[in-house]
Each structure stands twice: as C-alpha cells, then as structure tokens.
Amino acid sequence: MRPRTKKLLFSFSLLVFLFFYIPIMFVIIYSFNDSKLGTVWTGFTLDWYSSIFQNHQLINATMNSLYLAVISTVIATILGTLAALALYRYTFIGKKAVEFLFYIPVVIPDIVVAVALLAIYGILNVSLGLNTAIPGHVAITISYVMLVVLARLSSFDSSLEEAAKDLGANEWQTFWKVTFPLIFPGILAGGLLAFTISLDEFVISFFTLGPGDNTLPVLVYSMVRLGVSPEVNVLSTIIIVIMFIVVTIVGLNMRKKGDMRND
C-alpha cells in the first residue's frame, strides 16, 4: 500500500471515529453540568448522579425499556438461531420465500411495522400495554439475529458433527457439545445486537404502548419540547459505561477461548 493511500485511509477512519464518539463524549461531559439546561455549561457537579435515583418517572421508563429489551432479545435470539439452523441445514419447498420474509424487517421502515401492529390490535380489540410492544420488537430484531448466526454458520465445519456422531453422540448431544459451542459467538453477537436495537426502539414502542407506559426513548422524546434534563445525560453515561464493561468482558472471554483452542 502506498504511503499516501495509507495516510488517506487513516485520516478517513479517524474522521469516522470522531463523528461517532464526539457526541458520546459531550453526553458524558454534560452529565456533570450544574445547569438544568443540557446545552448550557455553568459548572461541575455530581448532584445529578444522586438525584437520578429520585426521578421515578425516568427509572420506571428505563425498567420498561430493559424489560422489553430482555424479553424481546430472548425470544428473537431463540427463534433467529433456529431459523438460521433450518435455512443452513435443510432444503425445502419455499426456502427462498422464507429467506426473503426474514429479510423484510431489515429493509422496511419501523413505522410500517408499528402501524400494521396497531391495526391488528384494533381488529382483535386488544388493550394496549407494555407487553403489546414485544411482538414488534421481536419482529424487527429476529432477522438481525438470523443473519449474524448464518454468517457464523457459513464457516462452520460439518465434519466435526459427523465425528461426534461416529463416536456415539446422538443428535441432541452433538448439538449441545459440538454445534452450540462453535456457533455461540454468533448467537451472542446477534443477541447483543437485538438487545441494543430493542433498547433503542422508539417508533414501534410509541405506537404500541398503552396509556401511562413509557420506555426511555419515548420519555426522552416527550421531554425534548421542554428541554432534556441532565439526568438523561447521567443515565446515558451509566448505560454507556455498563455496555462498555459488558462488551469488554465478553470480548476478552471470547479471545481467551480462541487462544485456548489454538493452543
């Protein structure tokens, strides 16, 4: 690679990273802002980190978001993994159509899913609540899990399963002792992606939640007109730190397991 091309790529990569991380740094910095207005810096304080636990509305919205994200991630990860295994291993009539159906949630706007669910709930006379948002969250995350697991399966060595069966393992034992550990990094990556998408989802939650039920994105949207409280910056900072720790731990564990396999 030419030195000029190398410098150009490095500069472009640096600009991309700055574009992504500078806003995050501002969120973290302004979580220590003494002003009630999130855009005006008046001094340093830690008061918002103590008062956030007294903001029951914000805490309840966060708990609702975590509830939806966890339930949706579990369902989407299980169904997405099973779908990926079925599409990878078996050939059946309508396979291409099924694959196409799984790609649809990736490309269509969330507003379409939200309006469709709202229409279905209206026809079935279903009362809106916190749980009525779960099908929408699953619908938009299951495809991402399936695609990530399929990518992992593309490099899967089927001879390992055959070797396990030759040694006396049945289908169930082969799956849990051989297949699952090998594709687990893909399942974990898909699950983390589904969790992030569900936690951040606004449109579907806005349309399908019941009166009085708020998720964090919906609550922040309702606060924008009057000004976002610095407590939102504090909560965002806490979430960023927790996610950074989790991703770091998972990455180190996966790297350690990879080094052990290589040894």
Condensed to tens digits (0 to 9), the pLDDT of residues 149-173 reads 998 888 887 888 888 887 888 888 8
The 8-class DSSP code of residue 107 comes to: H
pLDDT above 70 for 67 = yes
Tally the domains of the chain. Answer: 1
Residue 208 lies in a domain: yes
Paired with 44 in beta bridges are: 33
Residue 212 lies in a domain: yes
- Between CA 224 and CA 219 the distance in angstroms is 9
In degrees and rounded to multiples of 5, residue 12 shows phi and psi of -65, -45
Residue 40 lies in a domain: no
Residue 194 lies in a domain: yes
Residue 248 lies in a domain: no
pLDDT above 60 for 64 = yes
Residue 245 lies in a domain: no
Residue 174 lies in a domain: yes
Split at pLDDT 50, 70, 90, the class of 247 is confident
SS3 of 44, please?
A: strand
Residue range(s) defining the domain that contains residue 61:
56-217
Condensed to tens digits (0 to 9), the pLDDT of residues 80-108 reads 999 999 888 888 888 888 888 888 888 88
Q: The pTM is what?
A: 0.83
Residue 61 lies in a domain: yes
> Residue 92's domain is classified under what CATH number?
1.10.3720.10
